[in-house]
Structures are given as C-alpha cells and as structure tokens.
Structure 1
C-alpha cells in the first residue's frame, strides 16, 4: 500500500506543478486542503483562499515550472515532499526567475491526497 500511495502523491505533485503553471484554479482547489497554511519566501503565511484568489486574479502568472531533486517520505497517511522548482514568471507583481526549494505535506483524506502545509525558500543551488 505504501508504494501505491507514493505513486499517487507523485502524480498529485506533478498535477500541482502543472496547475501552478497553467493557472488551473479548479485543480488547485482539488489538491489543496481548505485549512492549508503555506509559508512564502518572505515569511508571509498564506491560506488556500488567498492562494486561489491570487491565481484567479492573475497576480500569479508563471510560464516555467520545472521540478528536480524530489525527495519523498511516507509517514503513515502523510507524505512529505521536498523538491526544487525552477520558476519563471510573475508572482504578485514581481518578476521571478530562479530555483526554489519547496517542502509540502500531503495527507490522505479517504481516497484523496491534499496539501495541508508547505513552505518555499530560494534555493542556493
């Protein structure tokens, strides 16, 4: 079962990155838990509602979202993903072009994996 869950999380992780790149708000809504807390690179904490509003309004507009160096740990009905993501585009009025290290916690709810927590920092590599 652990292997099946790891595969499901990896599929969802890819779906999440694609949704970020394409502003697919409905898919983001499906993948993010309603009570999500996410710490951004400047220390701000965002909720799911805040994140979805930013994508809906177009204040997040990314044209490159490519992952590498993914690490996955399964812990019960939780999965912890650490991944480097190269991002190019516009984020809240700022042009960005760099690599960022994300940490996301996925939790299994019935048959659906959802992100319940996360953070991002600029990558040094």
Structure 2
C-alpha cells in the first residue's frame, strides 16, 4: 500500500469512527496536540473533539465523500475533502456540504491528525 492509499484508509477509518462516535478509534487517529478550526470559528483540540462525540446531544448521521484530494510530503499529508454531511445537535438537525482540510503526520508507527479546519460550502 502506498502512502496515498494509507492516508485514504486513515480518512475512511476517521469517517466511520465519527459516524459511530467511536472514542477509542478517534483517540488513535487524533494527535494530542491537535489544533483544529471548527465550523463556528473556534479553535479546538483533541479533548474538545472527543467530548463532543461523548455528548448524548451530538450525533453525525451522514458523511458522504463528494471529492477528496491528497497531497503527500515527507512524513506529512494534506487532505482536502468535500463531504455531504448531516448531524444532530440536540433536537436541531443540520445538513450541509462541508469542506475539511486535515493535516496528517507520520509518527513512528502510525499516522495521526495534527491540524485541520472545516467550513460550510456555499450552495
């Protein structure tokens, strides 16, 4: 498996973990030093992301990849993905096309997300 295929596999693991709010898998894929720009403009870290997935008021219902581009550098990968997404925040449902940019870094034995951002795409 080449590096681009490994990153695509990590992205799929992440997508499935987010859909299931699988804290154990998310903990493996997200680095402790994560810096991520959320939809609301706040900067969050790993603990914030895991706490969101632990919340009974939050559930991702759909994350379907529309487009994905992967650029590989020495020990780092940048992924730009457009998703058709749907999530529940309490009794409120949100459907949007969301653009994610994630930076993966290769540590000794695994790839983890170290940074990223997301934004809603205009219709």
- Taking structure 2 as the reference length, the TM-score comes to 0.93
1:20 maps to 18
2 CA distance for matches of 1:75 and 1:94?
A: 40
The 5-angstrom pairing of residues 30-41 of structure 1 reads: 30-41=28-39
CA-based RMSD? 1.5
1:52 maps to 50
1:84 maps to 82
- Taking structure 1 as the reference length, the TM-score comes to 0.92
Helix, strand or coil at the partner of 2:2: helix
1 CA distance for matches of 2:42 and 2:90?
A: 13
- CA gap of 1:37–1:94, structure 2 versus 1, over 3 A, is farther
Which blocks of at least 5 consecutive residues in structure 2 are unaligned?
none
2:27 maps to 29
The Cα of 1:89 is off from its aligned counterpart by: 2.0
1 CA distance for matches of 2:88 and 2:57?
A: 7
